[in-house]
Amino acid sequence: MNIVEKILARSSGKSKVSPDDVVFAKVDKVMMHDVSGPGVIKVFDKLKKQGISVDKLWDSKKVWVAEDHFVPSAEKISAENIAKLSKFTKQYGIDKHFKYGMGQYGICHTISHEEAMVMPGDVYVGGDSHTNTTGALGAFACGLGHTDIAYVLLNGKIWFKVPETFYFKLNGKLPDHVMAKDFILKIIGDIGTDGGAYRTMQFGGSGIDEMSVQSRLTLCNMTTEAGAKNGIIEPDQKVVDYLTRRGATNVNLIKGDDDAEYEKIFEYEGSEMEPIVAKPFSPENISIVREAPSVELDKCYIGSCTGAKYEDLEAAARILKGRKVKIRTEILPAAISIYQRAMENGLLKIFLDAGVTVGPPTCGACCGAHMGVLAKDEICISTTNRNFPGRMGHVESQTYLSSPLVAAASAVTGKITDPRDLK
Amino acid sequence: MRGNVIKYAQDNIDTDVIIPGQYLKVHDYAELATHAMEGLDPNFHSKVKEGDFILSGKNFGCGSSREHAPIALSHSGIKAVLALSFARIFYRNAVDGAFLLPIEIEQDAYDAISEGDEIDIDISTNEIRNMTKNKIYKMKPFSEIIGKIISAGGLFKYKPDQD
């Protein structure tokens, strides 16, 4: 069995599972946030009316809650949603509620690894499609809607069809000017936004071994944009160290069997990878940066679970150090712990000196919610994950998706720019 | 199940156009319905009728896990979406929450059914009958688990232990 089959077999009490088997998997961790949480609460209200008991969760210790989409509260509806969440976690005794304005909080997928909420081998579900991110730690991490999350909260298990697995093998390191974001955009360009549909996308090879945990998180994050059920990477000592530094103990490793089967294997040579952008209006609509259209950009957005981890901020700072931005640029660290490290290591000064507006952790404009949404005809380069029509604001705005290096270089020139071409 | 078809002849209709991100904070189902398909078809709300179906291409509902998407369509009156394929979270949200039926169709049905056609869907025979054009097409049958959850009326009413 491969790693996903092993996790699903273990969690469903079976000795072996194969693709297309339907299992009810026991869940190890479940997450909801200020968008899925109020949805779950609404499902609970409906169940109560049908006479189904919602007095007790299956295990409140395995539940954690994030505030990220509309925080700090954008207006009164989002403020009410945050209040509902607080009432819910108090009522059900959920201790792990990361509240804004009270120390560590941030985008749920970033908190999942920054706070070591999820361990290798876990079945982890979250009320958000980018829950896939955390598969980079070696978990089966999968996004669900709020009816399914409500079901997990009450029953501790959920059904899955065991997925087929596509294996993406990266031979050799990526060049310095190429980031994990470029690699995953290249893959999505190759297989399309439904290319991984219903499947696991697993990453491996010497290029992945060499890659930092945070870069691996970027890869798994955007398996969602290829339609995948989840993304996963077999955990190694780097994952153990990463989680241990963040307070985890007894981190166990899990790997697929030597004779594990994959539906298809795709191979990429690290040295051949180039900086990539995804043009409007789809993550599969890719172009090499040096061949991208010469458009006048209005905005640069460096944020989100995809593109505002510490490593992403460091990459942007390498470019912005001693330079000025030519277009409106926002940088929103994805969690308070990252914000703090950015302050301690001088990154915030570099950003502010360059003219950047530094904002609080939030999903913000990535999903067109608030904090810098786009006007009609505005063109943005962004380290986020989607560029469908209206994703970041007006339905006639445009978003180009890129790595933090490309986004920062483009902020300096006002045009889509390969970091190697910056003077 | 009989109704008229609203056709969007394109692939990859994503959740950002089915219900734009700014409405994710809204959990009033009737209000969500007024913004359904706003990102693609601002006239949707005025033209949709109770019992209508949406017909579309590949990868319908791709993007986010927002259950707001099937909710907004269902509370607009949409009883089923017929598509060449579906994105996974939209599909399971539609079924587990019992909001609407996601029906996978073949290319022949996609090509032949037009906007406004009256069709009749029979999931017991996996047949789609086009009343306007007097033609019959096959739909792809539901997998076993999906069929059971649909018959039960959603995930909460489905009892896996009684299988």
Domain holding A118, by residue range, is 3-268
Q: Is there a single domain that holds both residue A43 and residue A191?
A: yes
As a whole number of angstroms, the distance between CA B84 and CA B60 comes to: 8
β-strand B118-122 against B127-130: which pairing, if any?
Answer: antiparallel
Question: In this predicted model, what pLDDT tens digit does every residue of B10-21 receive, in sequence order?
Answer: 999 999 999 999
pLDDT exceeds 60 at position B26: yes
Do A27 and A165 sit in the same domain of this protein? yes
pLDDT (tens digit per residue) in A72-115:
999 999 999 999 999 999 999 999 999 999 999 999 999 999 99
CB pairs under 8 A between A and B: 126
On whether both A156 and A36 belong to a single domain, the answer is: yes
Q: Distance between CA A212 and CA A337 in Å, rounded?
A: 18
User: Are A263 and A358 in a shared domain?
Assistant: no
A291 and A261 in a single domain? The answer is no
Domain that holds residue B94: 2-162
Q: What is the pLDDT of residues A127-147, one digit of tens each?
A: 999 999 999 999 999 999 999
Q: Both A261 and A353 in a single domain?
A: no
Q: To the nearest whole angstrom, how far is the Cα of A294 from the nearest Cα of chain B? A: 27
**DSSP annotation string for A359-386:** --S--GGGGTSSSSPBPTT-EEEESSS-
Asked if the structure places residue A52 within a domain, the reply is yes
Is the pLDDT assigned to residue A326 strictly greater than 60? Answer: yes
Residue A254 and residue A285 in one domain: no
Residue B163 has pLDDT above 70, yes or no: no
Do A187 and A132 fall into the same domain? yes
A264 and A281 co-located in one domain: no
> How long is chain A?
423
- B14 close to A (CB below 8 A): yes
* Interface predicted TM-score (ipTM): 0.96
- Shortest distance between the Cα of A127 and any Cα of chain B, in A, equals 7
DSSP assignments along A168-188, one per residue: EEEESPPPTT--HHHHHHHHH
Number of separate helices (H) and strands (E) present in chain B: 7, 7
Looking at the predicted structure, is the pLDDT value of residue B161 above 80?
Answer: no
pLDDT of res. B160: 83
Are A162 and A23 in contact by the 8 Å Cβ rule? The answer is: yes
> Would the pLDDT of A363 be above 60?
yes
Smallest Cα distance from B136 to chain A, Å: 28
Q: Are residues A187 and A329 in the same domain?
A: no
Which pLDDT value is given to residue A348? 98
Domain's final residue, options A236, A268, A300:
A268
pLDDT recorded at residue B162: 58
Residue A423 placed within a domain: no
Residue A291 confidence (pLDDT) above 60: yes
pLDDT of A350 higher than 70: yes
Residue type, A358: V
Residue A153 Cα distances to A142, A150, A265, A353, B64, angstroms:
15, 5, 36, 46, 21
What gap in Å lies between CA B46 and CA A356, rounded to an integer? 43
The number of folded domains in chain A is 2
Q: Please answer yes or no on whether B67 and A146 come within 8 Å at the CB atom.
A: yes
From the list B24, B58, B59, which residue is nearest A35 (CB)? Answer: B24
Tally of structural domains, chain B: 1
Q: Is B7 helix (H, G, I), strand (E, B) or coil?
A: strand
Q: Tell me, what CATH number does A298's domain have? A: 3.30.499.10
**Which of B63, B88, B155 lies at the smallest CB-CB distance from A388?**
B63
Nearest chain A Cα distance for residue B59, angstroms: 6
pLDDT at A121 over 90: yes
Asked if the C-beta of B30 comes within 8 angstroms of chain A's C-beta atoms, the answer is: no
- How far apart CA A250 and CA A129 sit, in angstroms, is 28
Per residue in B45-89, pLDDT tens?
A: 999 999 999 999 999 999 999 999 999 999 999 999 999 999 999
The reply to whether A394 falls in a domain is: yes
Residue where one domain finishes, among candidates A268, A299, A330 = A268
pLDDT single digits (tens) A223-277: 999 999 999 999 999 999 999 999 999 999 999 999 999 999 999 999 999 999 9
Tell me the CATH number at B91. Answer: 3.20.19.10
**Interface contact flag, A143 B160, Cβ < 8 Å:** no
